[in-house]
Amino acid sequence: MRVCSPHCGLDPETSSGGETYERELLRHLAGQGVTLDLILARHKRVPEGVANWVIHRLRMGRGLRWPVAAVVFPPAIRRVYAETRFDLLRAHSLRYIGPAALRARRRLGVRVPIVAHHHHLDPDPLNQWIEGPVMRGVDRVIAVSEFSRRQAVEELGVPDERISVVYDGVDAKFAPAPRSARLVERFGLQGKPVVLSLGGLKKRKNLLVLLDAWRRVVTERPETQLVIGGTGPELDRLRAHARRVAPAGGVHFAGYVPEAEKVDYYNLSDVFVSPSALEGFGLTVAEAMACERPVVVSNRGSLPEVVSAGEGGFLCEPDDAGGFARAVLELLGDERLRQKFGVANRARVAQLFRWERAAAQVTRVYEEVLDGWRRRPQA
């Protein structure tokens, strides 16, 4: 099977969960023998040496905003179709690629089925005018969780039978290991309990609630250290709030965490926390679970699907700083519970959240859609 995927990016060092999903899923699809025609802007980096990836470059050297992408990508899709006669067109982004994919089929003669991938819907009035028509216009939508499926059905009226749920995966490199001596020295963590949060510093990640919870945590366990990894628009606001809730220090902003160092960061921690109010899947939570970390997370979005409450971690209301504090303190005070939750989390990831499993399921969906397309009369 040959699949065309116009793209915003597949950078090996991305800080975006969505881009990580695309890079890893496409890498594993290629490993299953799927040939992928990837259309990217001229300057976009991709992992080197991936078999079955064919890169087609746009003349444009800068990133594309979504209104521009709707104009630039359709003729590029048609050119690649003329060269390769790919079997299926995928839209990795409903807003950036979806309209272009539909236009290429409806107006430019690219006669193939279209599958869109859906992570989550941010609050936006344009969802009704872009994401909704795209999901209703393609042949199938692959959602990364039951939560994201419900969003599409309930908020945008997408027929339920048009959506297939395939969970994200976690790479096998995420595994338990001793603490990195370099990171321990960098943050001054010798002999101290560590709580970690890792991800983009965006408003929906809800990290102000974590810092409010931290005020109580350090009151009861002043030796505990909090490491916040990642960058984003909320950084300055979070730094200022951290100085108010923990004037004695103990909150460390690590900045951008390279892909190669993520495993070390997860294994630096005793507890991983994500108070995010909206996740389509929650990749960093699953990666921490694979490293046998117990977790404390919000009970919103997809996180209740990823974390088994009471077996691998605790779920809290996203605005309940006291609840987060109590859960963190309970785990910090009970080593046997931390170990029990961590072992259960690693087993859960191995059973449900591996890229090989995700790629095999996505391949089956593509084959089913392609078979249905070939069976029906074509205008």
Does 205 share its domain with 146? no
Q: How many domains does the chain have?
A: 2
Does residue 175 form part of some domain?
A: no
Q: Are residues 267 and 367 in the same domain?
A: no
Q: Please give the full DSSP string across 207-227, using - where no structure is assigned.
A: HHHHHHHHHHHHHH-TT-EEE
Residue 256 counted as domain residue: yes
- Rounded to the nearest 5 percent, the helix, strand and coil shares of the chain are 45, 15, 35
Q: Residue 219's CB: how many other CB atoms inside 10 A?
A: 11
Same domain, 347 and 361: no
pLDDT attached to residue 62: 63
Distance CA 278, CA 282 (A): 9
Shared-domain flag, residues 185 and 305: yes
So what's the pLDDT on residue 118?
95
Question: In 3D, which of 8, 53, 1, 7 has the Cα closest to residue 27?
Answer: 53
Closest by alpha carbon to 139, among 302, 361, 376?
376
- CB crowding 189-216: b at 16 or more within 10 Å, else e: beeebbbbbbbbbeebbbbbbbbbbbeb
Cβ atoms of 12 and 46 closer than 8 Å: yes
> Which ranges of the chain have pLDDT less than 50?
none
At 17, the amino acid letter reads G
Same domain assignment for residues 102 and 192: no
Q: What is the pLDDT of residue 61?
A: 64
Residues 233 and 117 in one domain: no
Per-residue pLDDT of 282-312, as tens digits, reads 999 999 999 999 999 999 999 999 999 999 9
Q: Cβ distance 196 to 227 under 8 Å?
A: yes
Say which CATH number the domain at 48 has: 3.40.50.2000
pTM of the predicted model as reported, rounded to 2 decimal places: 0.94
- Does residue 193 sit in the same domain as residue 332? yes
> Are 246 and 366 contained in the same domain?
no
Please, which residues have CB within 8 angstroms of residue 114's CB and are 6 or more apart in sequence?
88, 89, 90, 91, 101, 102, 105, 137, 138, 139
Give me the half-sphere count of Cα atoms (radius 13 Å) on the Cβ side of residue 307.
Answer: 34
- pLDDT at residue 59, rounded to an integer: 83
Residue 39 belongs to some domain of the structure = yes
- Same-domain status, 333 and 287: yes
Q: Closest Cα to residue 117, out of 44, 8, 239, 35?
A: 8
In this structure, the answer to whether residues 118 and 197 fall within a common structural domain is no
CB-count exposure of residue 222 (10 Å: 0-12, 13-18, 19+): exposed
Give the E-state strand segments of the chain in sequence order.
2-6, 35-40, 53-57, 88-91, 114-118, 140-143, 163-165, 194-198, 225-229, 251-255, 271-274, 295-298, 313-316
200 within some domain: yes
If you write DSSP's letter for every residue of 73-134 in order, what string do you get? Answer: HHHHHHHHHHHH--SEEEES-TTTTHHHHHHHHHHH---S-EEEEE----S-GGGGTTHHHH
Judge whether 1 and 367 are in contact, CB under 8 Å.
yes
Kindly state the tokens that stand for 122.
């941010």
Phi, psi (5° rounding) for residue 251? -110, 120
> Is 176 domain-assigned?
no
Residue 98 domain boundaries = 2-169+355-375
Q: Is residue 46 part of a domain?
A: yes
Residue 284's pLDDT is what? 96
Q: Quick one: what percent of the chain has pLDDT higher than 70?
A: 98
Q: Is residue 186 domain-shared with residue 152, that is, in the same domain?
A: no
**Does 19 fall in a domain?**
yes
Whether residues 333 and 265 share a domain: the answer is yes
Q: For residue 252, is it within any domain?
A: yes
Rounded to whole angstroms, how far apart are CA atoms 377 and 42?
38
